[in-house]
A = this chain, B = another copy of it.
Amino acid sequence: MIHSFLMIGQSNMAGRGYVQDVPIICNERIKMLRNGLWQIMIEPIHCDRPFTGIGPGASFASAWCNKNETEEIGLIPCAEGSSSLDDWTVGGVLFENAVFQSELAQRTSKLDGILWHQGENDCNPEGVNHYYEKFLVIVETLRRRLNVPDIPVIVGGLGDYLNTGKYGRYFRDYSLINKVLLEFANTQDNCYFITASDLKANPDNIHFNAKSQRIFGLRYFEAYDKRINILEPMKEEISKINELNNKPLSKAEKTALIGNEFGKGNMSLEEYEEQLSKVNDKE
């Protein structure tokens, strides 16, 4: 049985890190949901925009696989770029889609956690003041509707770079959102907060870059695994990421990656078959 995780929130959960900036993560025990079915994960995991890239999901799942050496993990991508907390209202399309996709996933997996990252779009006094109560309704309703009353919810903080740079004026209150998210984690059962401290942004100064998303995913996993808040950058984050990158590829993983290149038209039929037979010969 696959252990599944729902990913919701706005663009930094969907992922905007540039795919070309980090080594591929490919692990046959990491699946992603498409049309209600599981397939081997190849990033991007989300499809909310044509330019969706690296989010926290892949390194979260890799760390999970290191801990759970024989089982499979499935990621349910439902985050939507630029969405405000009000866009996630119960009954709205984003919320209902997330519930429905999770229900499809539950037919063939056990829903084990919810990963949340959202708040850039609520960085204003009104947004801050009502964040706790609005988010509570979302979390309580998700848990009830999906029949997972005690499921861990891991909430990620907003980037410390947000109030600098070109669009900084829109994010002046980002630290107040982080305060509410931490307060939420401290006062609600089975909720944990992870800091975005030290993480870096794309040139837009809005979105975590790919390397930082890899680190962020590790923090999400650490909070999930230990059931603790992560309030400071973790020791050895970088070396742990390098370990993930050095994992040798299995036959199934090589086959998936070769199939992806052939499917995109980056490889001739002859080259494809040659590479496939090499993979098979080596086993």
Q: State the A residues within 8 Å of B (CB).
A: 16, 18, 20-21, 34-37, 39, 42-43, 47-51, 53, 78, 80, 93-94, 96-97, 100, 104, 107, 166, 202-204, 259-265, 268-269
Interface majority SS (helix, strand, loop, mixed), chain A: loop
**A35 adjacent to B78 (CB under 8 Å):** yes
Partner of A260, one of B47, B51, B96, B265: B51
Instruction: Decide yes or no: A35 and B269 within 8 Å by CB, A18-B264, A260-B50 being known contacts.
Output: no
**B104 adjacent to A97 (CB under 8 Å):** yes
B residues less than 8 Å from A268 (CB atoms)? 203
Task: Give A5 to B34 CA distance when docked, in angstroms.
Answer: 20
Partner of A265, one of B18, B42, B48: B18
**B263 adjacent to A34 (CB under 8 Å):** no
Instruction: Decide yes or no: A94 and B35 within 8 Å by CB, A42-B50, A50-B42 being known contacts.
Output: yes
* Chain B: minimal CB distance from A250 (Å): 18
**A203 adjacent to B39 (CB under 8 Å):** no
B residues less than 8 Å from A49 (CB atoms)? 34, 39, 263
- The 9 A-B pairs at the shortest CB distance, nearest first, are namely A51-B263, A36-B93, A18-B265, A47-B47, A42-B50, A203-B269, A35-B80, A51-B264, A36-B97
**B35 adjacent to A93 (CB under 8 Å):** yes
* Chain B: minimal CB distance from A252 (Å): 15
Query: Whose C-beta in chain B lies nearest to the C-beta of A87?
Result: B37
* Chain B: minimal CB distance from A44 (Å): 8
| 30 sampled A-B residue pairs with Cβ under 8 A | A18-B265, A20-B265, A34-B47, A34-B48, A34-B80, A35-B78, A35-B93, A36-B93, A36-B96, A37-B80, A37-B94, A39-B49, A42-B50, A43-B50, A50-B260, A50-B263, A51-B260, A51-B261, A51-B262, A51-B263, A53-B263, A53-B264, A53-B265, A93-B104, A96-B104, A97-B104, A100-B100, A166-B269, A203-B268, A204-B262
